[in-house]
A and B are shown apart, each in its own frame.
Chain A
């Protein structure tokens, strides 16, 4: 059973370009979470999605960031008009259920560098 997959693993963009980060959850998992880890900082929650629904986007910046989890295919985190401050590691996690104490399984992350 493959784990959570993220691609690309490394992404370089110039200021003003768009970044698309993909996450394929573990087989049988329908809950996806995105977290961001800025340099020298802890991981911070961005958004929680189920298939075709955004459940909690309280951690998403108000502008330029969007996320989706379509019926078919991976979850996508999209950053428009990237700026240097978007450089970070973006981790996706998945879980089979939403229960208190339920484990989330993390992907290897995408490291975004904005030049």
Chain B
């Protein structure tokens, strides 16, 4: 079983739609949680950090449920430019010695005009 699981999609949605991505992680020792975005053949870029209290950045809302080991991302009013692969990422730190990122395989979003 992969440590971080995501629905690979693709999610094909019309412009203006609301779309939700889900992610589960298996290691309860995971400490930090992120959503990254990766455009085709480009490097991943941090979209937002995820907290138990939930956080919002414009059209994007992220939520963490530690009890269920579940992370979500909601995108409202989808734009064509939102088309990308969305990567769910967790980290574990061993006494501060490392902070490696553990990636899900990503969910592909295609926003249609």
Chain B interface mostly: loop
Pick the residue among A41, A43, A100 that contacts B31 (CB under 8 A): A100
Size bracket of the A interface: 20 to 34
Q: Is the CB of A48 within 8 A of B98?
A: yes
Q: Is the CB of B93 within 8 A of A107?
A: no
Pick the residue among A98, A101, A111 that contacts B96 (CB under 8 A): A98
Nearest chain A CB to B33 CB, angstrom units: 8
**Most chain B CB inside 10 Å of its own CB: which residue of A31, A56, A93, A106:** A106
CA separation between A106 and B97, bound complex, in Å? 20
Chain B contributes a number of interface residues (CB within 8 A of A) equal to: 24
Nearest chain B CB to A27 CB, angstrom units: 18
Nearest chain B CB to A83 CB, angstrom units: 23
A104 within 8 A of B: yes
CA separation between A89 and B31, bound complex, in Å? 27
Q: Is the CB of A101 within 8 A of B91?
A: yes
- On chain B, the residues within 8 Å of A104 by CB distance are 99, 101
User: What are the 9 closest A-B residue pairs judged by CB atoms, nearest first?
Assistant: A42-B105, A101-B32, A106-B43, A56-B98, A45-B100, A43-B103, A42-B103, A100-B31, A98-B99
Residues of A at the B interface (CB closer than 8 Å) are 31, 33, 35, 41-45, 48, 55-56, 59, 89, 91, 93, 95, 98-104, 106-109, 111
